[in-house]
């Protein structure tokens, strides 16, 4: 068994990105509504990574009672600001806010979390897009483990169907001719789908780890995206790590696993957004020098 060293992948990826960014002005804005301690930690990690590689980052922290209108007004001003390349809203949001409405108010070419309807749709049609960071992190790990070109014909069981992980991964895996199978809370006989899988990607967020060695195939790749705080106050995923390590080919740990890659992919998306915006500006200047307006 080989444990996937996501921390090392993150450090290597950030170092490479730092070289690519050198000398360029790239900016990221993170909007957060106060009140979620886990979000505080995630934003801290993103700020640290941005500062490390030379991305200008601003953290916009809003009061708990902020309204949909107020959040969208902030996003609208950032959409219009040509000096801002990336915009993301830290999730989750308080229940009184409309998450879909707010996310989709971000212009897609600045949507560095890759969660707008337009960016998700572009994944389905296999067009250029800013992709959801966690799903892209999974693909980065798979590339490191076996190479994306070797996904052809592989059966990949995905546990979870959110727009963060499951739904985009279906199409991302299909683009490399893998065979994705999606399971969720209503799936019967989950074990039937995991036992025959070459790859298991789980994002169930179970209260207690449940994937054991009897549920997996010999030498399979197990990628655990879930991060849950247990009753003991410690972080765990969906996989019983110590039980599967002797049977699996690769296993990602929790903590210290796929979450590391989510931060890396956010930085990569911000750099990609800047490149896409520059390309679009140059094209618009050629066609109409007097009028510049970012579209996707």
pLDDT digits (tens, 9 = 90+) for 228-255: 888 888 889 999 999 999 999 999 999 9
The span from the CA of 15 to the CA of 6, in Å, is 14
Question: Which position among 32, 90, 260, 277 bears the catalytic label?
Answer: 90
Concatenated DSSP letters of 104-171: TTS-GGGBTT--SHHHHHHHHTT-S-PPPHHHHHHHHHHHHHT-GGGGTT-EEEEE---TTTHHHHHH
Each residue's pLDDT expressed in tens, for the chain with a length of 296 residues: 577 789 999 999 999 999 999 989 999 999 999 998 889 989 999 999 999 999 999 999 999 999 999 999 999 999 999 999 999 999 999 999 999 999 999 999 999 999 999 999 999 998 999 999 999 999 999 999 999 999 999 999 999 999 999 999 999 999 999 999 999 999 999 999 999 999 999 999 999 999 999 999 999 999 999 988 888 888 899 999 999 999 999 999 999 899 899 999 999 999 999 999 999 988 887 777 665 566 66
Q: Is the residue at 125 inside a domain?
A: no
Q: Is the residue at 253 inside a domain?
A: yes
Question: Which position among 10, 32, 111, 113 bears the catalytic label?
Answer: 113
Q: Based on the fold, state whether residues 137 and 106 are members of the same structural domain.
A: no
Decide if 206 contacts 228 (C-beta within 8 A): yes
Q: Is the residue at 268 inside a domain?
A: no
**Catalytic annotation on 64?**
no
Q: Which of 219, 226, 217 is nearest to 181 (CA)?
A: 217
Which DSSP category does 247 fall into? T
Q: Is the residue at 228 inside a domain?
A: yes
Domain hosting 86: range is 19-116
Q: Based on the fold, state whether residues 58 and 156 are members of the same structural domain.
A: no
Q: Which of 183, 159, 186, 181 is nearest to 170 (CA)?
A: 181
**Catalytic annotation on 113?**
yes
Q: How many domains does the chain divide into?
A: 2
Q: Based on the fold, state whether residues 112 and 161 are members of the same structural domain.
A: no
Q: Is the residue at 199 inside a domain?
A: yes
Q: Is the residue at 188 inside a domain?
A: yes
Q: Based on the fold, state whether residues 23 and 112 are members of the same structural domain.
A: yes
- The two most distant CA atoms of the chain are separated, in Å, by 65
Q: What is the CATH number for 254?
A: 3.40.50.720
116, 151, 184 - which closes a domain:
116
| Cβ neighbours around 35 below 10 Å, total | 13
| Cβ neighbours around 196 below 10 Å, total | 13
Question: Which position among 10, 46, 154, 274 bears the catalytic label?
Answer: 46
Q: Is the residue at 71 inside a domain?
A: yes
Q: Based on the fold, state whether residues 248 and 142 are members of the same structural domain.
A: yes
Query: Is residue 105 exposed (0-12), middle (13-18) or buried (19+ Cβ within 10 Å)?
Result: buried
The model's pTM is: 0.91
Q: Based on the fold, state whether residues 102 and 142 are members of the same structural domain.
A: no
Token couple for 245: 């390590």
Q: What is the CATH number for 107?
A: 3.40.50.10860
Token couple for 266: 């956010």
Q: Based on the fold, state whether residues 183 and 241 are members of the same structural domain.
A: yes
Q: Based on the fold, state whether residues 252 and 161 are members of the same structural domain.
A: yes
**Catalytic annotation on 18?**
no
Q: Based on the fold, state whether residues 73 and 175 are members of the same structural domain.
A: no
Q: Based on the fold, state whether residues 53 and 103 are members of the same structural domain.
A: yes
116, 146, 165 - which closes a domain:
116
């Amino acid at each position: 068994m080989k444990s996937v060293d996501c921390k090392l992948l993150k450090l290597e990826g950030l170092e490479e990105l730092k070289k690519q960014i050198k000398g360029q002005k790239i900016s990221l804005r993170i909007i957060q509504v106060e009140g979620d301690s886990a979000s505080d930690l995630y934003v801290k990690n993103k700020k640290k990574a941005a500062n490390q590689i030379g991305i200008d980052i601003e953290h916009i922290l809003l009061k708990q009672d902020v309204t949909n209108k107020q959040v969208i007004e902030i996003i609208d001003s950032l959409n219009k600001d040509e000096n801002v390349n990336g915009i993301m809203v830290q999730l989750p949001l308080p229940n009184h806010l409309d998450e879909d409405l707010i996310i989709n108010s971000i212009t897609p070419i600045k949507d560095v979390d890759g969660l707008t309807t337009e960016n998700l749709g572009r994944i389905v049609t296999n067009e250029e897009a800013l992709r959801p960071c966690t799903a892209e992190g999974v693909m980065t790990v798979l590339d490191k483990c076996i190479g994306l070109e070797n996904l052809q014909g592989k059966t990949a069981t995905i546990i979870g169907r959110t727009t963060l992980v499951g739904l985009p991964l279906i199409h991302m895996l299909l683009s490399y001719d893998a065979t994705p199978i999606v399971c969720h809370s209503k799936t019967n006989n989950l074990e039937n789908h995991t036992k025959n899988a070459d790859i298991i990607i789980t994002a169930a967020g179970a209260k207690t780890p449940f994937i054991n060695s009897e549920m997996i195939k010999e030498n399979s790749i197990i990628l655990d995206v879930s991060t849950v705080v247990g009753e003991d106050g410690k972080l765990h995923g969906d996989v019983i790590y110590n039980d599967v390590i002797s049977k699996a080919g690769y296993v990602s740990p929790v903590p210290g696993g796929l979450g590391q890659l989510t931060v890396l992919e956010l930085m990569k998306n911000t750099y990609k957004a800047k490149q896409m915006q520059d390309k679009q500006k140059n094209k618009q200047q050629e066609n109409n020098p007097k009028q510049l307006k970012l579209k996707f």
